[in-house]
Each structure stands twice: as C-alpha cells, then as structure tokens.
Amino acid sequence: MPGKLGMTTTIRMSVLKNQATQLLWYGKIETTMARAKQLRSYVEKIITAAINSYEDTIEETVTVKDKKGKDVSKKVIKDGPKKLAARRRIMAKIHDIPDVRKNGENKADYKARIKGINHPVVERLFNEIAPKYAARAEESGQGGGYTRIYNLGQRRGDAADVAIIELV
C-alpha cells in the first residue's frame, strides 16, 4: 500500500504529477526519500506504458490541395489505437510543461524546433526515453528498474532524509 506522505489525496497526487513531470523532463530531481520511493513506482508505470506502445503507428497517404489547386499526396504518420490510448493515460498522469528557448536561440529557430509539438514531455517520453529502455530490456533480457535513488543524508533544517532520484 502506498504511503500518504502526510498529505490529502489531491495534494499528494499533484505533488507526484509535478515531480514525475520534472523527472521525465530533466532526468534527475532532488526530493525527500519518502517522496522518491513513492515517485519511483509512479514513474516506472508511466515508462512501462510508453515502452509497451511506442512502436504502434499507422502510416496513411492523404490527398490535399496545394496553393495552386493541384492534388498532392502526402504521407502522414499517426498514432495507432494502442499508442493513442497509452498517450492519453500518460497525459492524465503528468503535467504539460512548455519547451523553453535555448541560450542564443532566436525566435524563428525556436518556433521551427517546436512546430508540431503540442506536448513536449510526452513526445520526449515516446521518442527518446521509451526506445532507450526498450533497447536496454532486449539487450539485458529484463524490464523495469528505470530509476535510481541516491540517499544524500539528512536535510539541515528539519532532518528529513534527502535523496536524488534519476532515470538510469
């Protein structure tokens, strides 16, 4: 049975959503040991759902009219039903954060880079994290174990155990 962390359900779920989003986006966060242990199971279920469905895509050929009125056929890659359902379940479990401009990146380059990406955390999960861990599972023959927790000792103000949780 998961711990309650001394919070009501809505606050606890909000904290887990925020921390899961930050962990998936940045790859590493610092938190208390109790929260890290709760976050581990929460994030590993999200990553497992992404791994099980990231390859389910459908390629369609769509005919559209260009500016001159001519019919042009275009290939479109869409999510299959399994991936779409997993994507929606995952989007309910994490928050959506916007992608930020990199240092020295002008506005036009930034707009070109994020064009067509509505949910950057979910895109990163399906395009980077899930294929990496799927290859690792095939290579080693084992699934799971996507996170690692380091104990940093006690925090100075309240003596709470502090830990770093990171994606392996």
The whole model's pTM is what?
0.88
SS3 60: strand
Which architecture, in CATH terms, is 9-55+82-167? Alpha-Beta Complex (3.90)
Mean confidence (pLDDT) of the chain: 93
Model pLDDT for residues 94-136, shown as the tens digit of each residue: 999 988 898 999 999 999 988 988 999 999 999 999 999 999 9
| Per-residue tokens: 53 | 């469905």
131 burial (CB, 10 Å; 0-12 / 13-18 / 19+) is: middle
The strand pair at 147-154 and 161-167 is best described as antiparallel
19: closest CA among 1, 37, 2? Answer: 37
Model pLDDT for residues 59-94, shown as the tens digit of each residue: 999 888 888 888 889 898 899 999 999 999 999 999
79 phi and psi angles, rounded to 5 deg: -75, 140
Neighbours of 40 (CB within 10 A): 17
Beta strand spans in the chain (E): 28-32, 57-65, 71-79, 147-154, 161-167
